[in-house]
Amino acid sequence: MLPASLSILVIDENRIRAAIIEEGLREAGHDRVTLVHDVSALVRRISEINPDVIVIDLETPNRDMLENMFQLSRTVKRPVAMFVDHSDNASIEAAVDAGVSAYIVDGLRKERVKPILQMAISRFNAFARMERELEEARGELENRKVIDRAKGLLMKSRGLSEDDAYALMRKTAMNQNRKIVDVAQSLVTVADLLGPGKL
């Protein structure tokens, strides 16, 4: 279910087609709809309007226009539903790579606008969640590398076992009310400053 308070930006140079989309959105209960017919300086306009969702309708887009719209999709970090009259496999792949949430070929009918918007938002949210989880996993991996390096430095300089080196870092972190990774990063930084074997 789409919240009715969504701010929706419709980008379409063709005013008649834009009106069809707007009517479909308003019939679905969305009253915060903004139409943009001039596709120049779109990123600036989007930042001014700050919509929750973007609907782009392109009648017969050429390769440059599609690439511009895909670049826009990468830049704005919003759910984007794109309607086109004709497409090919390369354009579809480029749309997916650009993060377009819904890419609809030959399908502009006002009764389809609401379910397509729901799908675009759901897909965008799922993709954003996956990106967040991937970023968290990368961060955890980087933290693990720093901690392992710091353990190695303590083992070598103090003659500690791996468990004892970790226990020492954990105890230091607790005493200083810091995270273990921060203590480990400090050790690595000091070791880098002092040079090998000087910790």
- 1 pLDDT more than 60: no
In order of 8, 38, 119, 120, 162, the CA distances from 113 in angstroms are 12, 21, 10, 10, 59
The total of other beta-carbon atoms located within 10 Å of residue 160's CB is 15
- 11 pLDDT more than 70: yes
The residue type found at 187 is L
Dist CA 184 CA 199 (whole Å): 13
Dist CA 78 CA 101 (whole Å): 9
Residue extents of the structural domains in the chain: 8-108, 134-194
| Backbone angles phi and psi of 82, in degrees to 5 | -120, 125
The pLDDT of 11-37, averaged and rounded, is 85
The pLDDT of 48-74, averaged and rounded, is 77
Radius of gyration of the chain measured on its C-alpha atoms: 26
Tell me what pLDDT residue 198 has.
Answer: 63
Considering the chain, what is the average pLDDT of its residues? Answer: 83
The CATH homologous superfamily to which domain 8-108 belongs is: Response regulator (3.40.50.2300)
Query: pLDDT tens digits, residue range 68-110?
Result: 777 777 777 788 888 877 777 777 777 777 777 887 777 666 6
**Strand extents, DSSP E, 51-175:** 53-58, 80-84, 102-105
Tell me what pLDDT residue 67 has.
Answer: 74
Considering only CA atoms, which of 56, 72, 69, 51 is closest in space to residue 8?
51
Tell me what pLDDT residue 107 has.
Answer: 62
Pick the CATH number of 134-194 from 3.40.50.300, 1.10.10.10, 3.30.450.20, 3.40.50.170: 1.10.10.10
Query: pLDDT tens digits, residue range 114-162?
Result: 777 777 788 888 887 888 899 999 999 999 999 999 999 999 999 999 9
Fold match between domain 8-108 and domain 134-194: no
- 175 pLDDT more than 90: yes
